[in-house]
A and B are shown apart, each in its own frame.
Chain A
Amino acid sequence: MELYQSTIHELQDKIKEGKTTATAITKSVLQRIDAVEEKVHSYIRVMKDEALSAAAEADKEIKKGNIKPLSGISIALKDIVCTKGIATTCGSHILHNFVPPYDASVVEKLRAAGAIFVGKTNMDEFAMGSSTETSYFGPTRNPWDLERIPGGSSGGSAAAVAADECVASIGSDTGGSIRQPAALCGIVGMKPTYGRVSRFGLIAFASSLDQIGPFTKDVEDCAIMMNVLAGYDRRESTSVNIDVPDYRQFAGRDIKGWKIGIPKEYFVEGIDPEVKAAIEASIKTMEKCGAQSVEISLPHTQYCLAVYYIIAPAEASSNLARYDGVKYGFRAPASELLDMYKKTRMQGFGAEVKRRIMIGTYALSAGYYDAYYKKASQVRALIKKDFEEAFKKCDVILTPTTPTPAFKIGEKTDNPLQMYLSDIFTISTNLAGIPGISLPCGFTKSGLPVGVQFLAGHFQEGKLIQVASAYERKAQIEKRRPKL
């Protein structure tokens, strides 16, 4: 097996045993990028020189015996997290030349843990999309079928892990943007509890929903990444100051006697039959693990999409107001102020971003606020309550991650509503602020990966690691690699 194909824990062992070096791993990953990036287009920027010099530094430390949790591990960052001195574009024309003078908190944490950054990954513009097709830098392709989308908005980060162009990566999830591409690319992706991982330096889409999380090749790697990412940050007011457990200790524990909640509202028509079959098989696997499945109800499920498409655009319309051409980023030439604003934003933003800014501006307007934003906030509270009630009856909830496997590039770009439906099973998690994980649960006949999603109560990421690792061991999903 090549180094670039390895997991974090496999590479960690090799480094500890002196069988490999940070430089060797980095070179291996960079060679892999050279080989497949043209086909997949996971990256907006590959940080070759930076990665090699960081690896050389890491090797000096390793030689001294200073081995950290991610020493020498190649990590890719979604281009939505700010990197000091390195352009951070958010997949947008309007930020194509923006170079932050600061690192996001997660970047600081990863660097302190020894991570080697190999590049900034492609994404839907401002994380608005489910296919990575709205990127100013062109679409990313699904490594399992280059005709298809990798999911989104963190499609580049998911594809990079699936195509072995990095060992693990960072994404952000506002309505499913980690879990949906993880499912469609056949890897593990976690959205932590709102407030668990610092948002400082994460370019905001919808501040009350955004959360950073990892993409990994297996569940144990997810635990390793969470150990590094999670924790209080005084630079973020919504960060929650509670202890972070060692997530790795949850991997390997059994789930005997656990109750697995199956929400009846999630198994309605519209689910692809092959996805449905894979999920039904997953439920059986849970029972083989000694858990018991129980039917639960999340009665406000039908409103999730509507609530999300009021709240997220409303917040976005305000969050994106700062891109006005005055201070940084793209500025359209114009003779006076209003003209400059209009042209800059008209030319700087893509169609989907403009669509959401308009929806959000409308929802917050005088005379509409009560009917839209306020009502949506009230329903959001009910959705949150649905989950609180549900978790009284079960330990974790199991659902499909997506209703269908990866669709074809261009298939849904002309139909935003159809595109929005691909997040139907992931959106409620963000509205409730709870954590969720997606992991592979099989393949369709045509060889496309299918994902299963587990959800848990606030700050119960440990439970998710526990149930996902139990599932992973028991299900023994065939270890396939995309043919590239």
Chain B
Amino acid sequence: MEFETVIGLEVHAQMLTETKIFCSCSTKFGAAPNSHTCPICLGMPGVLPVLNKKVVEYAMKMALATNCAINPTCEFARKNYFYPDLPKGYQISQYAYPLAEHGWLELEVNGGKKRIGITRIHMEEDAGKLLHDEHNPVSYVDLNRTGVPLIEIVSEPDIRGAEEAADYLKRLHEILVYLEICDGNMEEGSFRCDANVSIRPKGQKEFGTRAELKNMNSFRNVQRGLEYEIKRQQYIVENGGTIVQETRLWDDAQGVTNSMRGKEEAHDYRYFPDPDLVPVIVDEAWIGKIRADMPELPQAKRERFISEYQISAYDAGVLTSEKALAGYFEEVVAICAKPKQAGNWLMGDVMKFLNEDKKTIRECPITAASLAEMINLIDAGTISGKMAKDIVEEMYQSGKNPREVIAEKGMVQITDEAALAKTISSIIDANPQQLADYRAGKEKLFGFFVGQVMKATQGKANPQIVNDLLKKMLAK
């Protein structure tokens, strides 16, 4: 039987605000346990939450970027359950009235475009963390993360495979980072994903019973987890079994998913509107202000790069994969007006150096102006492409501009024809045997003469001029 996979994803993204969602504690990661806490995020008696407006604005940006309708009013609700990392005994989230709904995100699927529906985006607070003592039956609670703002982005069950799911997540991740509202760090939990997975016989309209998959903390793990889970479900169905509705955990080490809890053990969260908070009113003026403040999104940028700079879709994809990289590229092009070359130098040598040093483009020692100047020097024939390879490395190591490097190393290209002719004639004189063989038809020896000229000029000779002169002089 042929099966179709149905996947819906729930993504939790940590908002990059300075302070928490309902108090003024810092959101910084990695501080000493419980050092970023106050009576409010500790859930002490009598304290009250006050909403951080920045969180609403960040969430609105994501809503606009994913084509959602922002509701004129939304409200916070309490999600009630007991756990030691949840100091109030409830999480402040949104339930009946979320911030935004009915959006979509476009993916490239099999050369075509496909829209994945976005059901809703809502705001909520994060919970803390439990630290378990490995040697004693004791657990510790770290509440630094409690109250860190999150948005939850819920997709429609429109995703049809593990690869598509990973692609959707990468697009979502890219937008969040582009908007500068999330650092996207999956290892630190700034971007987390749960998946609802089911399968159904191809052509069937009704959904199959779904499993909720948790604990996949990288794009690769999402894909692996989903692939495993799809196979597991297919195996069960093909062998006459039935899928049970349950929550399953991905085990990265074993490469399998395991049941965490069944439907019967599911919580009744007893959601109700939080009486300590007032409804959030979002008017058109506010939306307009946020919209005006939106950066160009990755998809639009890619399309513009292709048409404006006449570069390939692949190059556009690489150059826009990071907002800062795209910005750097545009800065270079603005000066040298050579997008193809700018792209090649950037994606080739510069990215190689950066990757080796695990640096980002923001930390690149070569300024956009320097790289543009170097491209211009190649174009003017001042230096050869081969020389530029060494120059750019020196520029990266020293942070100097190309003119400084060239001057220091005496690397200016020799374009003086008379001087080159003199060098060539002395090389011809010194190699009579090779000359005779060449003239007898061994044309391969042309390369030998080029090499000799380059050696004699320490590589500074203009290769085009050398070629032309050699051809003439060897033929005589």
Q: Which residues of A contact B (CB under 8 A)?
A: 80-82, 88, 90, 95, 98, 100-102, 104, 199-204, 206-208, 234-238, 314-315, 317-318, 320-322, 324, 326-328, 337, 341, 361, 364-366, 369, 373
Contacts and interface: CB of A to CB of B under 8 A. Distances in A.
Contacts of B89: 318, 320-322, 324
30 contacts: A82-B46, A88-B45, A95-B45, A100-B39, A100-B46, A200-B46, A201-B46, A204-B45, A207-B275, A207-B276, A235-B48, A237-B48, A238-B275, A314-B272, A318-B78, A318-B80, A318-B90, A318-B272, A320-B89, A321-B89, A322-B43, A322-B87, A327-B43, A327-B44, A327-B87, A364-B80, A364-B272, A369-B270, A369-B272, A373-B272
B50 interface: yes
A357 to B, nearest CB: 11
A373 B78 CA distance: 14
A200 B23 CA distance: 13
B48 A315 contact: no
Interface string B67-109: 0000000000010101010011110000000000000000000
B46 A364 contact: no
Contacts of A80: 46
Contacts of B48: 199-200, 235-237
Nearest to B139: A337
B62 interface: no
B451 interface: no
Given A81-B46, A102-B47, A237-B51, A324 B82 contact: yes
Interface in B17-52: 39, 42-51
Contacts of A318: 78, 80, 89-90, 270, 272
Nearest to B49: A237
Contacts of A204: 45-46, 276
B277 interface: yes
A26 to B, nearest CB: 26
Contacts of A82: 45-46
B270 A364 contact: yes
B interface bracket (residues with beta carbon within 8 Å of A) = 20 to 34
Contact of B39 (A101, A207, A326): A101
Given A90-B45, A318-B272, A237 B90 contact: no
A376 B309 CA distance: 63
Please provide the 4 A-B residue pairs with the shortest distance between their CB atoms, ordered closest to farther: A321-B89, A208-B275, A364-B270, A207-B275
Contacts of B84: 324, 326, 337
A453 B88 CA distance: 36
A206 B276 CA distance: 10
A366 B45 contact: no
Contacts of A235: 48, 50
B350 interface: no
A196 B42 CA distance: 26
Contacts of A326: 84, 87, 141
A208 B272 CA distance: 12
B281 interface: no
B268 interface: yes
Contact of A321 (B47, B88, B271, B277): B88
Interface SS of chain A: helix, strand, loop or mixed?
loop
A327 B141 CA distance: 9
B268 A365 contact: yes
B35 to A, nearest CB: 15
B277 A100 contact: no
Contact of B278 (A234, A237, A365): A237
Contact of B82 (A100, A208, A321): A321
Interface of B: 39, 42-51, 78, 80, 82, 84, 87-90, 141, 268, 270-272, 275-278
Interface SS, B side: loop
Contacts of A201: 46-47
B272 A238 contact: no
B88 A322 contact: yes
Residue from A82, A90, A320, A321 having most chain B Cβ neighbours under 10 A: A321
Contacts of B50: 234-237
B47 to A, nearest CB: 7
Contacts of B141: 326-327
Counting chain A CB atoms within 10 Å of each CB, which of B51, B87, B88, B276 scores highest?
B276
B78 A202 contact: no
Nearest to B51: A237
Contacts of A314: 272
Contact of B45 (A207, A322, A364, A373): A322
A123 to B, nearest CB: 14
A369 B47 CA distance: 26
Nearest to B79: A318
B123 to A, nearest CB: 14
Contacts of A317: 80, 270
A365 B269 CA distance: 8
A82 B141 CA distance: 25
Contacts of A365: 268, 270
A373 B271 CA distance: 11
A125 B345 CA distance: 73
Given A101-B44, A314-B272, A324-B89, 20 more contacts: A82-B45, A200-B47, A200-B48, A201-B47, A202-B46, A204-B46, A237-B277, A238-B276, A315-B272, A317-B80, A318-B270, A321-B82, A321-B88, A324-B84, A326-B87, A327-B44, A341-B82, A364-B270, A365-B270, A366-B270
A370 B272 CA distance: 11
Nearest to A98: B45
Contacts of A321: 80, 82, 88-90
A317 B50 CA distance: 21
Contacts of B45: 82, 88, 90, 95, 98, 100, 203-204, 322
Nearest to A80: B46
Contacts of B80: 317-318, 321, 364
B209 to A, nearest CB: 20
A324 B83 CA distance: 9
A90 B275 CA distance: 20
B11 to A, nearest CB: 25
Q: Which of A80, A201, A318, A337 has the most CB of B within 10 A?
A: A318
A434 to B, nearest CB: 17
Nearest to A340: B84
A315 B268 contact: no
Max chain A C-beta neighbours (<10 A), residue from B51, B88, B90, B272: B272
B429 to A, nearest CB: 92
Contacts of A207: 275-276
A199 B275 CA distance: 12
Contacts of A322: 43-45, 87-89
A469 B332 CA distance: 79
Contacts of B88: 321-322
